[in-house]
Structures are given as C-alpha cells and as structure tokens.
Amino acid sequence: GQSLEQPSEVTAVEGAIVQINCTYQTSGFYGLSWYQQHDGGAPTFLSYNALDGLEETGRFSSFLSRSDSYGYLLLQELQMKDSASYFCAGLRGSTLGRLYFGRGTQLTVWP
Amino acid sequence: GAVVSQHPSWVICKSGTSVKIECRSLDFQATTMFWYRQFPKQSLMLMATSNEGSKATYEQGVEKDKFLINHASLTLSTLTVTSAHPEDSSFYICSARRGGGTPDGYTFGSGTRLTVV
C-alpha cells in the first residue's frame, strides 16, 4: 500500500530554516516529490528526488534516503509568503505515474 | 508554462442531482489526467487515473459508478459526481501529466469546491 507520514504543523519565524520530514511505506516506489498548497489553491511543484541525496532549488532543498524510507524538505530564509501546506508525495508506477500524497504539514511563518 | 483549467471553481447542488467538473490542459496535451479529492486540512486522495480514449482506473474504495470519468481528448477530462449526497461535499482537484513521468511534469488545476445540500 501507500502511506506517507509527515508532521501536521510546523511554526517558525521569518529568516529561519525549517525542515519537514516525510517517512513512507510505499510499494513500487520511484521517487519522492514535494508540493506547496496555499489555502483553497492548486498544489504547486517544489522538488523531486528520484535518487538518494540532496536536490537544491533556490531556498528549497529536498533530500531522499531510500534505505531509510525517509525524505525531507528544507526551507531556508523563510518568508511570510511561505506560510502554506507542504505535501510529500510518492511516485508509483513508471507508466501511469500515480502520485500518492502525505497528509500535509501546515507551515506558519511569524514575523 | 503549463496551465490546467478546472471548472467550475465552486458549485452547490441539491442532494440527488449530478454535477460535472471539467479539467482542461490549455497549452499542452495530457495523455494522462488524475482526479483527487481533498477534505479540509487533509491529504489529496487519489481517486482515479484517466488516459485519453480508454477507461479510467479507479483506486480501491472509489465507486466508479458514482464518480464517472471521461477523457475524450488529449486536453479534456471530466468528472461527474452522480446522485450527489452531502457526504460527497469536498474539494476536487485534477492534475494533468505532460511528457515523461516525473512530478515536475504534473500540473494541477485550481480545484472545485462541491457542496451538496
């Protein structure tokens, strides 16, 4: 089956660094991706790890360890606009490519 | 960039009626589209995967006769909630995949908030 666990809430102040962890139990799993969703909006793609290691994209970085079934999203130099929900999602199936999402982490950035 | 338009953005319907939600890829062809359901403060739950010209593949526990999916062209997929009931009230989101299978090729619609009264 597909199960991705992440913390429900995280709070931080502007300029800080925050890490959102994701542990998973997913069969036939090709990689881990991260999405941002503001209230009532469309999820937007942030990062994807197909291989173990760190991927860096501007202020956001993502890490994957397949042996530990674990990944994280690192957000640096936090800004107020980063307040949103963050979802990890496992990619299953090379042909159909289904994404299965975690429950999401609500990040609140305080001034 | 890739844009997916979802319509309507919100809809209120009476219990027992059917509602159709459209998902269009505006500037690319999407061989595969996905439909998700999201409850407040909850995860996006995959309902079904639709490929152009073929029957949709439903996730376990999703009633295919209740949630009818049609993917008639490379740019349009529709989800019809038949005989809607209050428990079907939710936020429905579509996603369209272009190119290869990596997540950066998936674009989400803005969602449809369905309220059944």
pLDDT of A8-60, one tens digit each? 999 999 999 999 999 998 666 788 999 999 988 899 999 999 899 999 989 99
In our burial notation (b when 16+ CB lie closer than 10 A, e otherwise), range A3-35 reads: ebebbeebebeeeeebebebebebeebbbbbbb
Across the interface, do A40 and B111 touch by the CB < 8 Å criterion? Answer: yes
A100 CA: distance to closest CA in chain B (Å): 7
Q: Residues, chain A, total?
A: 111
- Where is B112: in which H helix or E strand? strand B112-116
Provide the pLDDT confidence category of residue B105 given band limits of 50, 70 and 90: confident
pLDDT of A56-107, one tens digit each? 989 999 999 998 999 999 999 999 999 999 999 998 876 668 899 999 999 9
The Cα B39–Cα A54 span in angstroms is: 32
Residue of A nearest to B32 (CA): A96
